[in-house]
Amino acid sequence: MNEKVNASAPQFDKDDILVVNNLVKWFPIKAGFFKRTVGHVRAVDGVSFKIKRRQTMGLVGESGCGKSTCGRTILRLIPKTSGDIFFDGKNVSTLGKDEMRAMRTRMQIVFQDPYSSLSPRLPIGEIIGEAVREHKIVAPDQFDDYITMVMEACGLPEYYKERYPHEFSGGQRQRICIARALALSPEFIVCDEPVSALDVSIQAQIINLLKKLQQDFGLTYMFISHDLSVVEHISDIVGVMYLGDMVEYAETEKIFSAPLHPYTKALFSAIPIPDPDAKINRIILRGSIPSPANPPHGCKFHTRCDHCMEVCKYAAPQWKEVEPGHFCACHLYDNDEEKAKAEEIMAKEKAEGNTIENEAEVL
Amino acid sequence: MDNEKTKKKKKSSYITTSESRKITRFNRRITKKLEKKRESASKDPSLYTTKMKDPENVVEFDNVCTYFFTDVGVVKAVDGVNFNIPKCSTVGVVGESGCGKSVTSLSLMQLLQRPMGQTVGGEIRFNKGDGTAYNIVNTPNSVMEKIRGNKISMIFQEPMTSLNPIFKVGKQIDEVIILHNPEMEKEAVKERTLEMLDLVGIANKEGVYDMYPHELSGGMRQRICIAIALACSPTIIIADEPTTALDVTIQAQILDLLRNLKEKLNSSIMLITHDLGVVAGMADYVVVMYAGRIVEKGTAREIFHNPSHPYTIGLMKSKPVVGQKVEELYNIPGNVPNPVSMPNYCYFRDRCEMRCDKCDGAYPPEVKIGDTHIVSCYRYIDKGEVLGQPKSVDVEELINE
């Protein structure tokens, strides 16, 4: 499991609201009569990053690369396998039941599908207010006014309180989901693909609402999405994930203007541009994402990479700061010392007779 | 007094029991009548054979009206749609969900859920290639079966659900070929299938032939769907959101494949999507739909460089573009009007920020502002030739005919 320890010791900065250090989440695969564990799906496999207060971090990647799992593990909706998550200086994973309960009001989530994430049997006022009452956010006599205030902040008129979710369109429902998260006055919200189920014109409304709320309430977002144009619009910092690893992490402008990792380059070149005359040099990746239960040896991207070298097949690249504030994990940017190290690993692997079996998996 | 009452009720979506019963009775009568009409029109080949207006087109939609007779009233899903699909070209149909783009394609395939959904008016002409054409609206099922999958084929949105999980993918491609070429030898069919798999860029074709759909990834499954669609070398392929369920990198692969195949096979593509970026990269002509009607159509260059209808402009501005930084995204205010009770003025008026006094009038006519550029908006009424309004079918009249 510890074949790569990417992150340096956590450095706490007052600005950092969230520090994630070498986060790992493996899901066991059970088989047979006794349900023995026969393998692991390596959903998140050593991810480290930081988010500053009042900023938005975008997390992009193909489906199945572990971005949603990452978001959920941070909120402790699913237990982690190893690694550390520090929220505002506190280690989230070691908190007791009561402490965690208090912490939950500070971090919230907005789910992807507004059609399945609202209880069809509760009126809107109750959906938004349930957790407020439970956590005693406001005094009981101010409860109604508070819910009205939250709803108005999200662009929902007061008379919606008595209505039920089926009476609303997708955009309105997503507003309700946002209001529900906002009602606990959190500092940090994980937005798990909040706009991908919505139409383009409604998407714009929700994105604008999220931006406005961030300004008004000083929120920090982690914005998970596979729509790169939306991520570019809303984020300050972008992390790119591939097969459970983070391959690149930098400020939005930097990463979009000069991506380093070959995967990021391919991903960005695949974005359709709404201009019939636009000439772009598309890098078309071969095949599809390999199974996270049996990821390729060495660099996980080597099976689809155009710049694949011999070392990539044997040694996993180190997570390092290539330029100030621009992190990347790729052998292309190795310095002499790292090169020597990688070659040493390769020589060792070759001597042990480890051949590359993953090649056949890519069609 | 009575009139006032009904007016009041119309405003809310609530329907009383008696009203609901009335709607059901009406629906039963009208669907029965339409089915009968269709049956009589499809008896004789001369009744469903027409001529193309322009023999260079593969499909002509001529004022097509497809309505759904639902329990809450008549939903005019497609209401007077006019456009052509020329030979060997890609036509992109863009619009939000519920604007009728999928129903337009289903009308062409005659895959509407009958008797609830009916094409009540207009003609869909499909070029036979010998100077005559089928009028799809009246074509009987027995003839349609020979066209569907053979001359017109379709790629669906969800590759996960459009393949049968209990048959090997090779067999599923074979099935289409055998159905339309019953005289073909078994070996020849398999050869053709392998050729198709090769064509859609599957490297391990012999292996994939014997695989079940669950063994393949999303992109591979979509390739199989494309292979099924192309198996009989159709003259037109309808791609209904072919890449919406796929990742960006896989989307790029599939679009690249479609683009190459179109050149190889000389087929036309009707590309239905809500992603403007996809349309820009693929389509020669673009049709923008809103609430069941076409608001703007033209070549891709005209639509993207000179969008004219306020809805098209709004749509373009509301999508963030990589490399272009904007502080706040434009959003089109409001929502799509209720499909059961459409207003009698411009459908977009209530959401439009450029509306003028003229907009209070009837639904705006189509205005030709360029050789191929047509817009339905009052703002351009002095700027080009006025072509006339899309004709809606009065269902009340239809029943009394």
Confidence at residue B13, expressed as pLDDT on a 0 to 100 scale: 63
Q: Is the pLDDT of residue B4 over 60?
A: no
Instruction: Give A115's DSSP letter.
Output: T
Flag whether pLDDT at B7 surpasses 80: no
Check if B91 contacts A (Cβ < 8 Å).
no
Residue of A nearest to B326 (CA): A233
Residue pair B259/B284 in contact (Cβ under 8 Å)? The answer is no
The answer to whether the beta carbons of residues B336 and A172 sit under 8 Å apart is: no
Interface membership of B220 toward A (CB under 8 Å): yes
B5 pLDDT higher than 70: no
Do the domain assignments include residue B244? yes
Residue A44's DSSP bridge partners are A25
- Reduced to 3 states (helix: H, G, I; strand: E, B; else coil), residue A237 is strand
The reply to whether residue B96 touches residue A270, judged by beta carbons under 8 angstroms, is: no
Give the single-character DSSP code of A223.
E
Q: What percent of chain B has pLDDT over 70?
A: 97
- Chain B residues with CB under 8 Å of A211 CB are 328
Q: Is B275 part of the contact surface with chain A (CB cutoff 8 Å)?
A: yes
User: Does A129 or B323 have the greater pLDDT score?
Assistant: A129
Question: Quick one: three-class SS letters along chain B?
Answer: CHHHHHHHHHHCCCCCHHHHHHHHHHHHHHHHHHHHHHHHHCCCHHHHEEECCCCCEEEEEEEEEEEEEECCEEEEEEEEEEEEEECCCEEEEECCCCCCHHHHHHHHHCCCCCCCEEEEEEEEEEECCCCEEEECCCCCHHHHHHHECCCEEEECCCCCCCCCCCCCHHHHHHHHHHHHCCCCCHHHHHHHHHHHHHHCCCCCHHHHHCCCHHHCCHHHHHHHHHHHHHCCCCCEEEEECCCCCCCHHHHHHHHHHHHHHHHHHCCEEEEEECCHHHHHHHCCEEEEEECCEEEEEEEHHHHHHCCCCHHHHHHHHCCCCCCCCCCCCCCCCCCCCCCCCCCCCCCCHHHCCCCCHHHHCCCCCEEECCCCCEEECHHHCCCCEEEECCCCCCHHHHHHC
Which of B203, B249, B316 is nearest residue A270 as measured by Cβ atoms?
Answer: B249
What's the rounded mean pLDDT across residues A104-114?
90
Domain membership of residue B180 as a residue range: 41-290
Using an 8 Å CB-CB cutoff, list chain B residues near A199.
96-97, 274
Q: Is the pLDDT of residue B400 over 90?
A: no
A353 confidence band (pLDDT: 50, 70, 90):
low
Residues 6+ apart with CB under 8 A from A215: none
Q: Does residue A359 or residue A246 have the better pLDDT?
A: A246
Please write the tens of the pLDDT for every residue from B230-275: 898 899 999 998 888 788 888 888 888 888 888 888 889 999 988 8
- What percent of chain A lies above the pLDDT cut of 70? 94
Let me know if residue B193 belongs to a domain. Answer: yes
Inter-chain CB proximity A232 and B320 less than 8 Å: yes
Overall average pLDDT of the A188-198 stretch: 89
Is B31 domain-assigned? no
Q: Note whether A363 contacts B: Cβ–Cβ < 8 A.
A: yes
Q: Is the pLDDT of residue A361 over 50?
A: no
Q: Is B226 within a domain?
A: yes
Say what the pLDDT of residue B93 is.
94
pLDDT at B10: 46
| pLDDT tens, residue by residue, B159-205 | 888 899 999 999 999 999 999 999 999 999 999 999 999 888 888 88
Between CA A283 and CA A291, with CA A285 as vertex, the angle to 5 degrees is 155
Query: In this complex, is the C-beta atom of A211 within 8 Å of any C-beta atom belonging to chain B?
Result: yes
**Is residue B344 a part of any domain in this protein?**
no
At residue A24, the pLDDT reads 93
Angle between helices B218-230 and B186-199 (to 10 degrees): 130
pLDDT band at A211 (very low <50, low <70, confident <90, very high): very high
Tell me which chain A residue has its CA closest to the CA of residue B319.
Answer: A200
Task: Kindly indicate the confidence band of residue A11, based on its pLDDT and cuts at 50, 70 and 90.
Answer: low
Is the pLDDT confidence value at A235 over 90?
Answer: yes
Q: What is the pTM of this model?
A: 0.85
3-state secondary structure of A70: helix
Report the residue from A199, A228, A282 with minimal CB separation from B96: A199
CB-based contact B280 A63, cutoff 8 Å: no
Task: Write the pLDDT tens digit of every residue in B317-334.
Answer: 888 888 778 888 888 887
* Least confident range of A79-83, A309-313, B32-36, B319-323: B319-323
Q: Does any domain span residue B393?
A: no
Question: Is the Cβ–Cβ distance between B228 and B199 less than 8 Å?
Answer: no
Closest in B220, B248, B300 to A267, CB measured: B248
pLDDT of the residue at A354:
59
- Output A8 or B144, whichever has higher pLDDT: B144
Query: Which pLDDT score is estimated for B125?
Result: 93
Interface test with A, best of B197, B216, B249, B352 (most A CBs within 10 A): B249
Q: What is the pLDDT averaged over residues B33-47?
A: 85
Question: Does residue B108 lie within any of the structural domains?
Answer: yes
CA distance A111 to chain B (A): 18
| Kind of pairing between the strands at B374-376 and B366-368 | antiparallel
Residue of chain A minimizing CA distance to B314: A201
Q: What single letter denotes the amino acid at residue A252?
A: T
Question: How many structural domains is chain B composed of?
Answer: 1
**What is the side-by-side strand order in the sheet with B117-127?**
B49-51, B132-135, B117-127, B57-70, B73-86
pLDDT at A4 over 50: no
Number of CB pairs, chain A paired with chain B, less than 8 A apart: 122
| Rounded mean pLDDT, A331-359 | 77
Residue B353 lies in a domain: no
Within 8 A of B219 by CB-CB distance, chain A residues are 288
Q: Which residues of B touch A361 (CB under 8 A)?
A: none
CATH code of B167's domain = 3.40.50.300
Runs of H (alpha helix) within A296-357: 336-351
| pLDDT above 80: residue B139 | yes
Q: Write down the ipTM of this complex.
A: 0.80
Over residues B88-118, the pLDDT tens digits come to 999 999 988 888 888 999 999 988 888 888 8
For residue B311, the model assigns a pLDDT of 93
Q: What is the pLDDT confidence band of residue A363, given thresholds at 50, 70 and 90?
A: very low
pLDDT digit string, tens, across residues B59-94 = 999 999 999 998 888 899 999 899 999 999 999 999
Classify residue B328 as exposed, middle or buried by CB count within 10 Å of its CB (0-12, 13-18, 19+). Answer: exposed
Q: Which tops the pLDDT comparison, B308 or B41?
A: B308
Q: Show residues of chain A in contact with B322, CB under 8 Å.
A: 228-229, 232, 256, 268, 271, 273
Give me the mean pLDDT over the B291-297 stretch: 93
Nearest-CA distance from B217 to chain A in Å?
Answer: 7
Distance from CA of B286 to the nearest CA of A (A): 11
Distance CA A157, CA A168 (A): 13
Shortest distance between the Cα of A267 and any Cα of chain B, in A, equals 6
Instruction: Using an 8 Å CB-CB cutoff, list chain A residues near B304.
Output: 274-276
DSSP secondary structure string for all residues of A314-329: TSPPP-EEEETTEEE-
Among the listed residues A258, A227, A223, the one whose alpha carbon sits nearest the alpha carbon of residue A238: A223
Contact A309, A292 (CB under 8 A): no
Mean pLDDT of the region A166-170: 85
Q: Does B315 touch chain A if contact means CB atoms closer than 8 Å?
A: yes
List CB contacts (< 8 A) between B247 and chain A. Answer: 62-63, 226, 289
Q: How far apart are the CA of A329 and the nearest CA of chain B, in angstroms?
A: 20
